[in-house]
Amino acid sequence: VIGHSKYQESKRIAIFLSMSDEIQTEEIIKDIFKQGKECFIPRYKPHSNHMDMLKLSSAEDISSLPLTSWNIHQPSDDDHVREEALSGGGLDLIFMPGLGFDKKGNRLGRGKGYYDTYLERCMKHPSGKPYTIALAFREQICESVPVAENDVQIDEILYEDC
């Protein structure tokens, strides 16, 4: 990931905070700050498919955030101080989680459509759709995953031995 050309050339990066069964992103987040890039993380709205990407001030900032019912940190609903990526300069790159992927760029998420809906909003932003990279375990690569018409394909999947 760190040596990837898209990562190297990106200045504004959104990345998920890992759940226990996902690729761990902590070291990538530390590197984003080390390289002087801007880091944005998801804030999911419960009982909807709405998600925002809010700016972190540092890697250490994460531990001060409240825990969700999924046991991951995210900015609180009343946190209006952080920049939302689409209210500013948009995003260059989004690292995406998922449960399964196929080599055509289809992604199986957790069923709420948060990322698909967010990418639709990105496409309306003046900076356009960011490059999307899914972080996966080799075991998550499938022959094909079921998709609906509102599912947005990802640009690239990174996994061990790819």
22 annotated as belonging to a binding site for a ligand: yes
Distances (CA, A) of 22 to 18, 35, 50, 56, 132: 6, 24, 21, 21, 17
Closest by CA to 1, choosing from 161, 107, 159, is 159
91 annotated as belonging to a binding site for a ligand: no
109 annotated as belonging to a binding site for a ligand: yes
Strand segments, DSSP code E, in the chain are 12-14, 38-44, 51-55, 93-96, 100-102, 107-108, 131-135, 141-142, 156-158
111 annotated as belonging to a binding site for a ligand: yes
124 annotated as belonging to a binding site for a ligand: no
114 annotated as belonging to a binding site for a ligand: yes
44 annotated as belonging to a binding site for a ligand: no
Give CA–CA dist 160/47, Å, rounded. 34
105 annotated as belonging to a binding site for a ligand: no
11 annotated as belonging to a binding site for a ligand: no
129 annotated as belonging to a binding site for a ligand: no
115 annotated as belonging to a binding site for a ligand: yes
Pick out the residues of the known binding site for substrate. 17, 22
Pick out the residues of the known binding site for ATP. 107-115
Pick out the residues of the known binding site. 17, 22, 107-115
